[in-house]
Chain A
Amino acid sequence: MSRPIQSSISHPATQIYDEAGSETAAPARRPRRARLSWLGRIGMTLVCFWLAMAVFGPMLAPYKEGVLASTLSFAGFSAAHPFGTDYLGRDMLSRILYGTRYTVGLALAAAVLASGIGTCLGLVAAVSTRWVDEVMCRLFDALISIPSKVLALVAIAAFGSSVPMLTMVAAVAYIPGAFRISRSLAVNLMTLEYVLVARARGERLLYIARVEVLPNMIHPVLADFGLRFVFIVLLLSGLSFLGLGVQPPNADWGSLVRENIGGLSQAAPAVLMPSIAIATLTVGMNLLIDSLRRHAGFGQGGRP
């Protein structure tokens, strides 16, 4: 809109370069740095903190995993046990730090699987012929109609609970959503003229999906990935709370809440602290996604 036009325009035939001054192009060339709002920064800090804990947590933990550190169960806050102790007298801080690996790692793996597979299939559906698209959509519609918790319960009842099983179940439950989102983004992009030009050039569908379409929908897809991560954390925590998640003596945050539910009447920190951990991770992730989404312009993959 505000490109400067030099006032000395001679005859159009002799005018060679359209004046879009190089000085306006220079700032546009710099990749737009996502400047996060302060809420976004809080979210970023929380997420980075928990990611770091998932990696380094066991090294930082004051006690080994499963060591009965105290004779007191459901002890309050103290210098020896900053987050108190659980129903067996184990140090709660160590339990949470060891649990981070399960909660964050499992959810991350499942979210990567769900978003990756969903996005790929969505792209395939968008670039394929109508029949392929139709069949895939109806199939995923059927999957979407099954509530994710019920699907997880049935699958675990049938095959038992293990870490790979939990990852698989969580991924399968969230693939259809990722598929839907990426397909609708890709379908919009497919009608744009640069994709038509590529098709008229005789490009293969795989190239079109990978080079022409994917880069323009990556921002919304990443935002969607973050949301899925949060949903999966909540799903896994819910499963663990029901006793179907990570099995003892290992524990993710959901199982920690469940184990120590007896301490609720004693106002034990053992039940409070894992809940706070779940809350900070999910809230942090949401804050981060919200600010990313605002910067990336959700759903506007096609236009600069």
Chain B
Amino acid sequence: MSDVMIEVKGLRIVAASPGGDATEIVKGVDFTVKQGEVLALIGESGSGKTTIALSLLGYTRQGCAFSGGSVRVGGTNVLSLDEAGRRTLRARTVAYVAQSAAAGFNPARTLMDQVIEPALLHRLTTRDAARAKAVTLFRALALPDPEHIGERYPHQVSGGQLQRLMAAMALITDPAVIVFNEPTTALDVTTQIEVLAAFKRVIKELGTTAVYVSHDLAVVAQMADRIVVLNGGEVQECGDVDQVLDAPAHAYTRALLAASAGREGNPASSQAAAAAVAPSVPLLEIRGLSAGYGRVDRHGNPAVRVLDDVNLSIPRGSALGVIGESGSGKTTLARVVAGLVQRTSGEVLFEGQPLPPGLHGRTADQYRRIQLVFQNADTALNPSHTVADILGRPLAFYKGLRAAAAQRRIGELLDLVKLPASTAARRASGLSGGQKQRVNFARALAAEPSLILCDEVTSALDTVVGAAILDLLRELRRELGVSYMFISHDISTVRSICDDVVVLYAGRRVEAGQRRLLDQPPHHPYTGLLVDSVPALKRGWLDAHRAVGNCALPLLSENVSGEAEGLCSFRGRCPARVEGKCNVARPPTRVLPSGAQILCHRSADELKLLQPLRGAA
């Protein structure tokens, strides 16, 4: 009995809707977690995984209530506790790490004050003891400068560091159980593995029991011992990681696995489409583009330069993937092409014709043929308009379609993105995330564009819904022959839909070539880092990865020549950097055997020697 840490039996939770009728959102869930075990709750949004995780703390979100079952944590029945009892439970027994660390910290107080607050609030130790403990935790979580990082404020550390500090806050009271709610979902892949590795080590060292909530099977495979697959508030499958991944028993689990495997690499039919296009004038060509924000100085350079000397071209009917971490300038690139951000130098040619830098001076036809689709469908659709209004406006604006003709076209568009015609009367707030994203595409398609700029269109969606959107994109391209500039931080998405790939780092194009370049080393060192950081869907990948990736970076003295202009922007993080070259001279453009152009001092052979990992894996 003492072996079992968490026991959930027949848990039922209802949500009361404004009308008064209650909907059951968790329908009789059972699972147990043994001492020191890591259990993953996996499912799409709306599957009830967060609600169940919160119930371990004896908490329900506003409007929800427990309606049956029991939750036992370490022998106490959580649901029978009163408010004071739950408070002590949360003090010593169960701790919580939320998804958005940025929203979880108070920007006006130092990190140390906030990390030790739980211990002081529940009067568990003295301030000095708590501080000493926090420093040990910072060290265990591999935070830089553990003695002094606590003196900083939340805005002075990165997102991944903040997430680890949040874990330190949870661990400061030595809880028996810790609940992680999608802690790495909002992070870049490269940051994600650092955070995952830190979490994994700390859990192992402290022997804490953990519940890990996520929608990403590959991440879960690294962290968990056992997996509970949830759908619609019911347990679909519960078993060991190996069993769930290798021999899934339930159809839903298989669908989830198929959806994440579908992203992995899908030899699309695009090769034929690309070959069929005559090598005429490219649809979009960008030459030496620089752009940024803030005041522009006398030399025409903006205060914050976001894009620097970017070149790319998109042939008619093909798809270009733009990859990079957050802050690499991907979104700015799309906005420059759309005319929302003014470029400071360089040229943008659309069908051989130069595009005016700003919105003014573009012709109606240029407006129509370049359409933009944003990441966040919640803010991309006006909440006070119906779907018919949203789709009708570009029809009336570009084509002068009104009344019956517009109605008919709206019906066709909805059909094209596979939404029922009844959607037209609804407002955006009544649609699901995937449906909103489809409306978002339908609005772009209403203009009958030649080029659609897709800015992280699947990032906010679940695996299954995202895969359906990608299928839709492929189909539209086949049927309508539109071109895409597909911006994403997710390599597997880009690999599955794009013909050509451009890798951006800090506003520079570090690598450009065909999709194949992502499959085989050698890569540019940054591309290599990105490719390596995508978790594989198998156990032990994280441990193997850390064993290889933990070697120290070669020494590099900073900026010896005093001339920073044009130096490789990735030199600060590059595992292949060369003292005396990378910090002195501008990197040359090289062509790799795969046909890709990279910006690097290392030759293809040298890079191949440095990147053996992918070939082995």
Contacts and interface: CB of A to CB of B under 8 A. Distances in A.
Interface residues of B, number: 69
B418 A16 contact: yes
Interface string A1-41: 11111111111110111111010110111000000000000
A28 B382 contact: no
A222 to B, nearest CB: 14
Given A20-B431, A196-B340, A2 B364 contact: no
B390 to A, nearest CB: 8
Contact of A29 (B45, B335, B383, B430): B430
A4 B359 CA distance: 43
A189 to B, nearest CB: 9
B262 A18 contact: no
B265 interface: no
A304 B428 contact: yes
Contacts of B371: 200-201
A17 B46 contact: no
B133 to A, nearest CB: 36
Given A28-B430, A304-B428, A7 B231 contact: yes
A194 interface: yes
B232 A6 contact: yes
Contacts of B217: none
Contacts of A196: 335, 340, 372, 374
Contacts, number: 141
A16 B472 CA distance: 9
B554 interface: no
Given A27-B19, A199-B359, A203-B397, A5 B46 contact: yes
B579 interface: no
A237 to B, nearest CB: 37
User: Is chain A's interface secondary structure helix, strand, loop, or mixed overall?
Assistant: loop
Contacts of A15: 464, 468
A160 interface: no
Contacts of A303: 378-379, 383
Contact of B232 (A5, A18, A203): A5
B252 A9 contact: yes
Given A11-B255, A194-B382, A200 B339 contact: yes
Interface stretch (B153-161, B419-427, B477-485, B522-530): B419-427
A201 B364 CA distance: 9
A200 B369 CA distance: 11
Interface residues of A, number: 43
Given A4-B46, A18-B465, A29-B427, A197 B364 contact: no
Contact of B434 (A7, A18, A197, A200): A18
Contacts of A6: 232
Interface in B362-408: 362, 364, 367-368, 370-372, 374, 376, 378-385, 393-394, 397
A212 interface: yes
A17 to B, nearest CB: 7
B589 interface: no
Contacts of B125: none
A194 to B, nearest CB: 4
B168 interface: no
B443 A197 contact: yes
Interface string B46-87: 110000000000000100000000000000000000000000
Interface of B: 15, 17-19, 23, 25, 44-47, 61, 231-232, 234, 236, 251-252, 255, 258-259, 262, 335, 338-340, 359, 362, 364, 367-368, 370-372, 374, 376, 378-385, 393-394, 397, 418-420, 422, 425-435, 438, 443, 447, 464-465, 467-468, 471
7 contacts: A12-B468, A25-B430, A193-B380, A197-B374, A201-B371, A216-B384, A303-B383
